[in-house]
Amino acid sequence: MGLISMGSGAPPVGLDIGTDHVRAAVLKSSSAAPTLAAYARGDMPMGAVVDGEIVDPAAVASAIRELWRQPGINGRDVVTGVSNQKVVVRLIDLPFMEREELQGAIQYQAQDYIPIPIEDAIIDFQIIGDYMTPGDEHMMEVLLVAAQRDTVEATVAAVEGAGLRLASIDVTSFAIVRSTLGSGLNVFSEDEESPGEAVAVVHIGSGLTNIAVVERGVPRFTRVSSLSGNQFTQAVGNVLNLTFDDAERLKIRAGLPEIGSQAHAETATEDSDARMVREAQDALEREVNKFIAEVRRSLDYYLTQTAQARTIRRIHLTGSSAQLAHLGTYLEKGLQAEVVMSDPLRFIQVASSARVPVEEDRMGAAPAIGLALGGVI
Ligand SMILES: Nc1ncnc2c1ncn2[C@@H]1O[C@H](COP(=O)(O)OP(=O)(O)OP(=O)(O)O)[C@@H](O)[C@H]1O
Ligand SMILES: [Mg+2]
């Protein structure tokens, strides 16, 4: 699925443009699993990407150009993702029609489902399947995606500013699901849920968290939240009055206190470093509890909207911020679901040239790899 798709020869490079980092994944198709031939991550200047929107296309373009100097990153065609609170993903039911007919009608059909004027949106859809109602009406299920035209135009500007060509735009959540659960929209072999169950994928970055729910092989719900790594850092900085960089280092060092540990009890012998760590952990625990409530609201919303799934059995956790110590255990307890650390290398092979850079960024690599996967399958 691509909001814009122009078709091309070589599979496009997966380009993930984030708040803190920009990443590129080069995949080659092969007879066995697709092979990651090159992978790189570079820094994004602060303020260039805010809430998933490119606000400074020139700064993003130069970060991308920098990335293209890294070994093996050399394709001209790229596929990027859109991910922000204004991207709409809705599963809708429509009277059955052929694909071509829907292509013409979608503009009119979509307006009922998206909160932005149709002329300001770029719309795409995928037909998931068709069915008969008890009253013998022929219906179909359609996954509708809409992004703000401005968002897409800023992405085009950044990519073209870097001397590259935008081959297609995907929804970042779909890319994350693809690299986490399997390579196609409809292929989730090992996670094949039994009826009544769904799985969630939660990717926690720096400025955004992407939540997706997959049921019967299809991502049926996505939500983007701004509760993520930067907020955790900010909370630590605020309680201890630290600079952002100091708070960032302390956050990573402290992590969350082990559940049930005595880590937060203040003791008479506590030195100043132990006190800082304890206060950071307390702040993180409060922030993570808010985060859990946010994820729970999203999952509950999904479960009340769908007639089929009654539970979310398993949560796949990814993203650099998922490395916060003990986060998985907190989520497991707070959401009453099994939490597994997801591995974006699970469904691909890795060439020796890509091994080191991707291993160093294993939790952050899911979007870039998933975007590239969309181009080779
Ligand atoms: N070991 C760790 N423990 C906790 N947090 C970590 C750890 N390593 C990195 N992080 C956090 O991960 C975040 C950066 O994530 P990432 O690089 O994936 O974001 P991004 O892709 O640039 O942003 P986004 O996708 O949200 O726009 C930072 O908040 C950083 O503090
Ligand atoms: Mg990211």
CATH code that applies to domain 90-146:
3.30.1490.300
Q: Which residue lies with its CA nearest to atom 4 of ligand 1? A: 324
With contact defined as beta carbons under 8 Å apart, do 185 and 191 qualify? no
* Cβ–Cβ < 8 Å for 204, 229: yes
- Residue 352: partners with Cβ closer than 8 Å, 6 or more residues away: none
Assess whether the C-beta atom of 287 lies below 6 angstroms from ligand 1: no
Atom 20 in ligand 1: residue holding the nearest Cα: 18
Matching CATH topology for 90-146 and 188-342? no
Q: Amino acid letter at 327?
A: L
CA pair distance 42, 21, nearest whole angstrom: 6
Residue 328 CB less than 6 A away from ligand 1: no
Q: Which of 240, 247, 301 is nearest to 275 (CA)?
A: 240
For ligand 1, is residue 370 a contact (CB within 6 Å)? Answer: no
pLDDT of residue 259: 86
Q: What is the mean pLDDT of residues 149-173?
A: 96
| Ligand 1 contacts CB of residue 208 (under 6 A) | yes
Degrees, nearest 5: CA angle 233-236-238: 105
pLDDT, tens digit (0-9, with 9 covering 90-100), for 296-353: 999 999 999 875 788 898 999 999 999 999 999 999 999 999 999 999 999 999 999 9
**pLDDT attached to residue 9:** 60
Measure the CA–CA gap between 83 and 70, rounded to whole angstroms: 25
Q: Is the CB of 206 under 6 A from ligand 1?
A: yes
The stretch 29-52 carries a mean pLDDT of: 93
CA 74 to ligand 1 centroid distance, Å: 25
The CA 49 to ligand 1 mean position distance, Å, reads 14
Residue 369 · residue 16 · CB < 8 Å: no
Q: What is the pLDDT of residue 197?
A: 82
Evaluate: CB of 228 within 6 angstroms of ligand 1: yes
Mean pLDDT of 226-245: 97
Per-domain residue ranges of the chain:
90-146, 188-342
pLDDT tens-digit series, residues 54-107: 999 999 999 999 999 999 999 999 999 999 888 988 889 999 999 999 998 888
**CATH label, 188-342, candidates 3.30.420.40, 3.30.70.600, 3.20.20.70, 3.40.50.620:** 3.30.420.40
**233 Cβ inside 6 Å of ligand 1:** yes
Convert the pLDDT of each residue in 98-122 to its tens digit: 999 999 888 888 888 888 888 999 9
CA–CA dist 17, 364 (Å, integer): 12
For atom 18 of ligand 1, which residue has the closest CA? 205
Q: Which two tokens stand for residue 210?
A: 């992407």
Using the mean position of ligand 2's atoms as its centre, give its distance from the Cα of residue 204 in Å.
Answer: 8
Rounded Cα distance, 75 and 86, in Å: 30
User: How far is residue 39's CA from residue 41's CA, in Å, rounded to a whole number?
Assistant: 7
Could you tell me if the CB of 367 is within 6 A of ligand 1? no
pLDDT the model gives residue 187:
43
Using a 10 angstrom Cβ sphere, with 0-12 exposed, 13-18 middle and 19 or more buried, the burial of residue 114 is: buried
41 close to 367: Cβ distance less than 8 angstroms? no
Q: Which amino acid belongs to residue 371?
A: L
- CB count in 10 Å sphere of residue 210: 28
Closest CA to 171 of 209, 121, 222: 222
Identity at 132, one-letter amino acid code: M
Which amino acid is present at 339? V
pLDDT, one tens digit per residue, over 351-366 is 999 999 999 999 999 9
The pLDDT of residue 249 is above 60: yes
